[in-house]
Amino acid sequence: MRSPSRSPRSIAALLPCALALAACTDPARITSPTRGDTLAAALSKQGTTADRILFFSGSPSDVFSIAPDGTGLIQLTTSDAWDRDPAWAPDGKRVLIASGADNGVNLAIYAMNSDGTGVTRLTSPGLMEDDFNPRALGKDIAYNHVDGTVLSYTIWKMAADGSDRTRLTDGPGDYYPAPSPSGKQIAFVRLNDVYVVDVDTRALVNLTRSVAWEDQPAWSPNGKQIVFTRVVDPTTGSTDIFVMNADGTEVTRLTDAPDYEQRPQWSPDGKWIAFTATYGLGQGVWRMAADGTSVNAVIDAPLLFANMGAWAR
């Protein structure tokens, strides 16, 4: 998998330059980010919070939300630490993130209002530990835990308030949890394959069994399909996006470009898939119809380096 791109501190610093260049390429409409005091006005035009796309960008990264048509950009975090992996909380209103805000070293999981206020810390990983990749799991939250002392990545769950933490997989290389809509199963990556674990029984199923490197699964809102990333050129690390039935059958390729399409996430109605794409000098957030057609930019400009977080709960 291609290494994450580095970029300047924030999108706000990039926008004057990016917009001048973007005008020639006509990406989605990009506006300067606003803070939470304008959120109500933005949402009155763009719909509910659950209709918004969450992404992170910068070095260190901050978290943003944006409407699917590329308007109403709002910056949610401004810390000097890495703020990443945004997702909608179980209530569909608050936002989950992973951040090193408290000590600048360990990633912990936080919840906040959709305007960036009311930040609450949910986990407190120990020395050489990190918690990241939070996702709504029914009324609970699934997440990744890494123990750096033994280099073990495992999938855990906890209550929405951070209590009742339970380990669901044994590792040592389990990451990128993607809960099913029912909350009864979690897709995740192990040894470059997509697996599913039953939350109650801990039973495991290997869905892909491929020689290719697969990553970043996401369950469709109707529970019938899983979209994921696959390395299609081991020499360059080029990735494309594929979709399969939830039982691993009927794998279909959705993108086919000599670049990098990654981090796919479904829209709440299941009709669209948003993803990170690296085309030329920019790493932006794009969207396409669920069959791979009608590809267009949500936010994209040279030197932007945006990473898709979440769209649906």
DSSP 8-state secondary structure symbol assigned to residue 101:
T
> Hey, how many other C-beta atoms are within 10 angstroms of the C-beta on 103?
8
Which of these, 237, 222, 220, 247, lies nearest to 278 by C-alpha position? 237
Q: What is the mean pLDDT of residues 17-38?
A: 35
Q: Which of 33-37, 108-112, 228-232 has the lowest mean pLDDT?
A: 33-37
Q: What is the mean pLDDT of residues 276-290?
A: 91
Residue 13 reports pLDDT greater than 80: no
Q: pTM score, two decimals?
A: 0.86
Higher pLDDT, 164 or 43: 164
Which of these, 181, 14, 42, 163, lies nearest to 114 by C-alpha position? 42
Higher pLDDT, 210 or 230: 230
- Bridge partners of 278? 260, 283
pLDDT in tens, 202-228: 999 999 988 999 999 999 999 999 999
Cβ partners under 8 Å of residue 31, min gap 6: 71, 72, 73
Query: Model confidence at 49, in pLDDT bands (50, 70, 90)?
Result: low
pLDDT at 2: 31
Residue 48 reports pLDDT greater than 50: no
- Bridge partners of 88? 95
What CA–CA distance (Å, rounded) separates 90 from 299?
26
Which of these, 25, 15, 48, 66, lies nearest to 268 by C-alpha position? 48
Residue 29 reports pLDDT greater than 50: no
Q: What is the mean pLDDT of residues 185-194?
A: 96
pLDDT in tens, 81-93: 999 999 999 999 9
Map out the domains of the chain as residue ranges.
11-310
pLDDT in tens, 256-276: 988 899 999 999 999 999 999
pLDDT at 267: 97
pLDDT at 4: 29
* Single-letter residue type at 102: D
Q: Which CATH superfamily is domain 11-310 in?
A: TolB, C-terminal domain (2.120.10.30)
Query: Are residues 278 and 259 in contact, defined by beta-carbon separation less than 8 angstroms?
Result: yes
Q: What is the mean pLDDT of residues 144-153?
A: 93
pLDDT at 101: 87
Query: Model confidence at 103, in pLDDT bands (50, 70, 90)?
Result: confident
Query: Model confidence at 251, in pLDDT bands (50, 70, 90)?
Result: very high
pLDDT at 102: 83
pLDDT at 30: 33
Query: Are residues 219 and 181 in contact, defined by beta-carbon separation less than 8 angstroms?
Result: yes
Q: What is the mean pLDDT of residues 180-203?
A: 97
